[in-house]
Amino acid sequence: MTAAERSLAEALEEARRAAFEAAMASSAKSEFVANMAQEIRTPANGIVGMAELLLSTELDGAQRDYALTLASCADRLLGIVNDLHDFASIETGQVVLQVAPLDPVALAGDVAGELAAKAARRRVEIVLRHTPDAPRAVLADAVRLRQIVSHLLANAVKYTDRGHVIVTVASGGDLEGDGLALVVEDTGIGMSAERVAQLFDGAGTANIQVGRNGRGPGLGLTIVARLVDMMGGRIEVSSQLGAGSRFCVRLPLPSAAPTNTDTRLSFADFGRVLVVDDHDLARAAVVATLRSCGIEADEAADMPGALSQLGRTSRRGATYGLLLVDLRLGDQDGRQLIRRLRANDRLRDLPVAVLVPAADGKSIAALSALRLAGWLPKPVRQEALEELLLSVQEQRAPRPPADADLPSLAGLRVLLAEDSRVNQKVVTRMLEGLGCTPLLARDGREALDLLAGAPVDVVLMDCHMPVMDGFEAAGHIREAERPGQHLPIIAVTGSHLARDRDRCLAVGMDDFLPKPMAYAALADMLTRWAPSRRAAVSPEAG
């Protein structure tokens, strides 16, 4: 080996040794930061807790102001400490992704709900959207994906003093295979092209610069960048100074089996919904969500527009199944519109629910005189909207007249096999009103499992269910019966065709109850078949 070669080899060895020592030093620093963050978190938690306890006591105006300031600063301190700990944990390789099925639309909605009160206090509207092709079940680390959405959304709210922040869940677009795209857009202060170009350094760390307004990105964007890199994704940033920013995270997440098998909510008979909201994007998002539930919706931006739409609909001889009114309608108040409706003989009984900014949730108690069908916090999440629709369906469920001479079916154990939550709730209320004890199964397989472990007098069997339909389940029940046994099975279906009735009877069902069912028809059907069951299981029958 020549002298030049020896010199080069020594230089390479020195460089490797220096790189190793630098990596060890960086790891040691990150571990030190993680340990210090853990140590600081304990007293920080104490400060937060004591501030909350202090606010729960009797305080005068000045004291309450001091305590609120203390609580706000304590929350910010704890947030910084948590970010330091997360960043250090990522740097030292302590973060391992724990993959499981999750619904990214629901996750984004949960995060938006957590930050809604802070945004509402700043008069900033958070709007939730998901595209028709957005994946509803992916394999991902729920904690880390939540961190990504939370940091991006919190950053957008922090830099937005007016307007809105939009959170959109979509498919991954041009990613190879399956994928997820999370987009957060705001109407905040924005960034120059130079600032966008310098936002992340080569190591994926956000360049932390605090401007004259005292606001900086902190460690949130750095944590997002590192987590996105761990998941094999990428971040796209666009912004314009004074006109807001747009962050798009694309992640190559594989699809998974749906986390909720109860996806066939039936709102076919609900009727049209009128959405009244002065924020165009928020209104459009609610309308899109309603349509994804199979409900046609109209919209209005203010009280005159709503009254005009109601008038046109009434003149056609139609009615709305629900009116959704934003409590804040620009310079107007949603209460004014609702009071106008209650004073109108033709519209006084129209079901009305209000859309309420998170910061105004306590004001709902003062609206009892308006006879509301319910309320929804903004931003509107699909799950919350579906629950409201279910509640309205329940309120509209037929009730027997007060003087109706219905039979006593007290103690009758009725198994309802039905996959629609709407129909589950409606029929359950009817059964309870008749004194029956309902047992619920979401499909034929669950119905068979329940029958194997609990006594049942009558089965109400929906014909069309996932996993195992009613026809197959009825066949299994009949095959398992011993001589002298006969469990009454009543088919419950929306089909009124003769061939479907014949098919129900062919597989061993005893009778046929079409949807939607009337209270009296259900009572009559149960009365007709319950005695035969009691006789079949009596001691004399063996």
Tens of pLDDT, residues 380-416: 988 888 888 877 876 766 555 555 555 568 889 999 9
Tens of pLDDT, residues 232-243: 998 999 998 888
pLDDT at 31: 59
Taking the CA atoms of residue 455, residue 459, residue 463 and residue 469 in that order, the dihedral angle to the nearest 10 degrees is 10
SS3 297: strand
pLDDT at 93: 67
Strands 244-251 and 234-240: antiparallel
State the pLDDT confidence band at 57, using cuts at 50, 70 and 90: confident
What are the beta bridge partners of residue 206? 200
Q: Please say whether the structural domain 18-91 has been given the CATH code 3.40.50.970.
A: no
The kind and range of the H/E element at 284 are helix 280-292
Query: Rounded CA gap, 204 and 189, in Å?
Result: 23
Q: What is the DSSP letter of 516?
A: S
**The residue to which tokens 């035969």 are assigned:** 532
Query: 14-28, 191-205, 416-430, 432-446: which has the minimum mean pLDDT?
Result: 14-28
Q: How many residues does the chain have?
A: 542
User: Which class is 272-395 in CATH?
Assistant: alpha beta
Q: Please say whether the structural domain 100-251 has been given the CATH code 3.30.930.10.
A: no
Tens of pLDDT, residues 64-97: 888 878 877 777 676 677 666 666 676 666 777 8
Amino acid found at 92: T
Average pLDDT over residues 269-277: 88
Query: Rounded CA gap, 381 and 362, in Å?
Result: 19
State the pLDDT confidence band at 62, using cuts at 50, 70 and 90: confident
State the pLDDT confidence band at 245, using cuts at 50, 70 and 90: very high
- Provide the token pair at 303: 């009280």
**The residue to which tokens 């397989």 are assigned:** 445
Question: What DSSP assignment string belongs to 355-380?
Answer: EEEGGGGGGGGGGGGG--SEEEEESP
State the pLDDT confidence band at 178, using cuts at 50, 70 and 90: low
SS3 127: strand
Average pLDDT over residues 210-225: 61
Query: 109-123, 211-225, 482-496: which has the minimum mean pLDDT?
Result: 211-225
The yes-or-no verdict on residue 353 having pLDDT over 70 is yes
The yes-or-no verdict on residue 428 having pLDDT over 60 is yes
**Better pLDDT: 264 or 497:** 497
Task: Give the C-alpha distances (Å, rounded to integers) separating 267 from 126, 272, 292, 484.
Answer: 27, 10, 11, 41
The kind and range of the H/E element at 489 are strand 489-493
CATH 3.40.50.2300 domain extents, the chain = 272-395, 413-541
pLDDT at 212: 36
Query: Rounded CA gap, 201 and 78, in Å?
Result: 26
pLDDT at 261: 42
Q: What percent of the chain has pLDDT over 70?
A: 73
Please name which of 281, 371, 253, 252 lies closest in space to residue 323, comparing C-alpha atoms: 371
Task: Give the C-alpha distances (Å, rounded to integers) separating 437 from 61, 411, 415, 430.
Answer: 54, 6, 9, 11
CB 180 within 8 A of CB 250: yes
66-77 in b/e form (b: 16+ CB < 10 A) is: ebeebbeebeeb
pLDDT at 19: 55
pLDDT at 439: 93
Please name which of 327, 270, 271, 337 lies closest in space to residue 304, comparing C-alpha atoms: 337
Query: Rounded CA gap, 22 and 28, in Å?
Result: 10
Average pLDDT over residues 514-526: 80
The yes-or-no verdict on residue 533 having pLDDT over 70 is no
pLDDT at 407: 58
The yes-or-no verdict on residue 23 having pLDDT over 90 is no
pLDDT at 27: 52
CATH for the stretch 413-541: 3.40.50.2300
CATH 1.10.287.130 domain extents, the chain = 18-91
Please name which of 399, 420, 520 lies closest in space to residue 465, comparing C-alpha atoms: 420
Model's pTM, two decimal places? 0.65
Phi, psi for residue 510 in degrees, rounded to 5 = -95, -30
pLDDT at 538: 37
The yes-or-no verdict on residue 517 having pLDDT over 90 is no
pLDDT at 266: 59
CATH 3.30.565.10 domain extents, the chain = 100-251
The yes-or-no verdict on residue 210 having pLDDT over 70 is no
Tens of pLDDT, residues 125-171: 999 999 888 898 899 998 889 989 998 998 899 889 889 999 999 98
- Provide the token pair at 339: 């009071």
Query: Rounded CA gap, 303 and 318, in Å?
Result: 20
Average pLDDT over residues 455-484: 89
The yes-or-no verdict on residue 264 having pLDDT over 60 is no
Give all strands (DSSP E) within 105-152, no chain letters.
125-130, 138-140
